[in-house]
Amino acid sequence: MNWITNYVRPRINSIFSRREIPENLWTKCDECGTMLFHRELSDNLNVCTNCSHHMAITPRARFHALFDAGVFTEVQVPEPIPDPLHFRDQKRYPDRVKAAQKATGEKDAMLVAEGEIGRTPIVAAAQDFSFMGGSMGMYVGNAIIAAAERAVERGRPLILFSAAGGARMQEGILSLMQMPRTTVAVQMLKEAGLPYIVVLTHPTTGGVTASYAMLGDVHIAEPNALIGFAGARVIEQTIREKLPDGFQRAEYLLEHGMLDRVTNRNDLREELVTITRMLMGLPPAVSGDLPAPDPDQTDQAEAADSK
């Protein structure tokens, strides 16, 4: 009996307790409180099916939904030297990075990929708010430069999804220097005559807004995304008055002329295809279940690709 109670039973219990019960089957919408089933939510690109509240989405999930058949090739980003300032606050900076890498499975706060959307070749870059607040340091700067260089090399438009609290303080002045560095990247695209489309997602603030996120040919924002330079709390303390409802939200910026459009995440892909195809001088996208593409169009796509 002893052998059974002390050995066999715990083993059996541990096998059963290890049975796969996915942890987050349900997500509560932080806007309307509706409980959303995980599959339904991810099918809807993390947009609440009840109130259309846009929740965060990882760059990988976004690319999976963005690129045709979810196929994309990652563009390698040159890795900067780690912890350039030997920065230490209450934690060591390398420890913070490691924790973020472990939590997200990503190297840093930006993912760059190339592929096709609506059979339109593009380069895309997406910022990851879950990685240290999406903060812009040397890696993010290198990622944007790599994205621009690849776009120029292949003659493709660049679509960038921004999401960041601002610069990464732990890289001090070097994080600030990503403002001019990424601006040079945008200039490369402009000089090559390639479209640069920015999709501003929640939140995009600080030095990120004051550089590459505000230099696009077209600015599209996701609904209700917080977009601004200074934080609302800092502004309230400075001017000592309450800020209006919706201040620094996408719709507010649209009214103030800083954005071209505010578009639901589920409509973004089609809109991006439409816009990039027009800017690239390509014929309208074909949609629906069509027979195999005729050779003519394949040629055109290839011609655009190798331009």
Q: Which residues bind another protein (CB under 8 A)?
A: 80-81, 83-90, 138, 141, 145, 167, 169-177, 179-181, 183-184, 186-187, 206-207, 209-215, 228-231, 234-235, 238-239, 241, 243-244, 247-248, 256-258
Helices (H), the chain: 2-3, 9-17, 38-43, 59-66, 93-104, 138-154, 172-176, 178-191, 232-239, 250-255, 265-279, 295-305
71 Rama class: left (phi>0) / alpha (psi -120 to 50) / beta: beta
Whether 158 and 125 have beta carbons less than 8 Å apart is answered as yes
Helices (H), 18-126: 38-43, 59-66, 93-104
Is the torsion defined by CA of 62, 65, 66, 68 positive or negative? Answer: positive
Tell me: is residue 29 an annotated ligand-binding position. Answer: yes
Shortest distance, position 264 Cβ to another protein, whole Å: 23
Whichever of 6 and 238 has its CB closer to another protein, that residue is 238
Whichever of 54 and 181 has its CB closer to another protein, that residue is 181
What does the alpha-carbon distance between residue 98 and residue 121 come to, in Å, rounded to a whole number? 34
Which phi and psi angles does 264 have, rounded to 5°? Answer: -60, 140
Residue in the block written with tokens 């708010």: 129
DSSP state, residue 226: B
Shortest distance, position 104 Cβ to another protein, whole Å: 20
Whichever of 29 and 151 has its CB closer to another protein, that residue is 151
Whether 146 and 158 have beta carbons less than 8 Å apart is answered as no
Shortest distance, position 223 Cβ to another protein, whole Å: 19
Tell me: is residue 51 an annotated ligand-binding position. Answer: yes
Tell me: is residue 32 an annotated ligand-binding position. Answer: yes
Whichever of 192 and 258 has its CB closer to another protein, that residue is 258
Whichever of 118 and 216 has its CB closer to another protein, that residue is 216
**CB within 8 Å of 129: residues ≥ 6 apart:** 56, 109, 163, 164, 165, 201, 202, 203
Whichever of 67 and 129 has its CB closer to another protein, that residue is 129
Shortest distance, position 209 Cβ to another protein, whole Å: 4
Cα angle, residue 43 at apex, residues 41 and 45 outer, rounded to 5°: 70
Whichever of 179 and 285 has its CB closer to another protein, that residue is 179
Shortest distance, position 113 Cβ to another protein, whole Å: 22
Shortest distance, position 111 Cβ to another protein, whole Å: 21
Q: Residue 92: beta bridge partners?
A: 88
What does the alpha-carbon distance between residue 256 and residue 219 come to, in Å, rounded to a whole number? 13
Shortest distance, position 75 Cβ to another protein, whole Å: 17
Binding site: what residues are annotated? 29, 32, 48, 51
Instruction: Specify binding-site residues for Zn(2+).
Output: 29, 32, 48, 51
